[in-house]
Amino acid sequence: MKDAIRTDLAPPPGGYYSQGVVAGPFIFVSGQLPLDLEGRVQGDTIGEQTRKALDNVAAVLRANDASLDHLVSVTVYVSDIGLWPEVNEVYAECLASVEIPPARAVVPTRELHYGAMIEVSAIAYFLR
């Protein structure tokens, strides 16, 4: 059994997909761009965009009473691997309170939707 997550605290889907899906104890968070609630890219720097994308991941998790502490896997898509040092620094700040850091993959890509520099998808484990 699975359920869709729908929250007004994160940007609405821009296509045929759910913001997140709960399947058993797992929460699958769709790729989150650094968008505001109206679908506009937020932040001029990779640091600002990283923080916003992670805020959107956290909002989808909160909609299911979970948090970043429940993350078990994160995939980060970045438009330029040269931006990685700043992405990693902000990522570490945003997850500083997480007891066990999630597994992570970094995927360099040429371009992302709407000209964003980063997109973050995640999987969380959360038992109610």
Over the stretch 82-91, which tens digit does the pLDDT of each residue have? 999 999 999 9
pLDDT digits (tens, 9 = 90+) for 79-118: 999 999 999 999 999 999 999 999 999 999 999 999 999 9
Q: Which residues contact 50 (CB under 8 A, 6 or more apart)?
A: 34, 86, 87, 90, 91, 94, 118, 120
Note the pLDDT of residue 128.
74
pLDDT over 90 (residue 121): yes
84 vs 95: CA distance, rounded Å: 16
The amino acid occupying position 96 is A
pLDDT over 90 (residue 60): yes
pLDDT tier, 5 (very low <50, low <70, confident <90, very high otherwise): very high
Contact of 71 with 62, CB cutoff 8 Å: no
48 pairs with which residues across the strands?
Answer: none
Boundaries of domain holding 82: 2-125
Average the pLDDT over 69-76 and give the result: 98
Q: How many domains does the chain divide into?
A: 1
pLDDT over 90 (residue 127): no
Note the pLDDT of residue 104.
98
Closest CA to 106 of 81, 69, 70: 81
pLDDT digits (tens, 9 = 90+) for 12-59: 998 999 999 999 999 999 999 999 999 999 999 999 999 999 999 999
pTM: 0.97
Q: What is the CATH number of the domain that holds 81?
A: 3.30.1330.40
Q: Label residues 20-41 b or e (16+ Cβ within 10 Å = b).
A: bbbeeeebbbbbbbbbeeeeeb
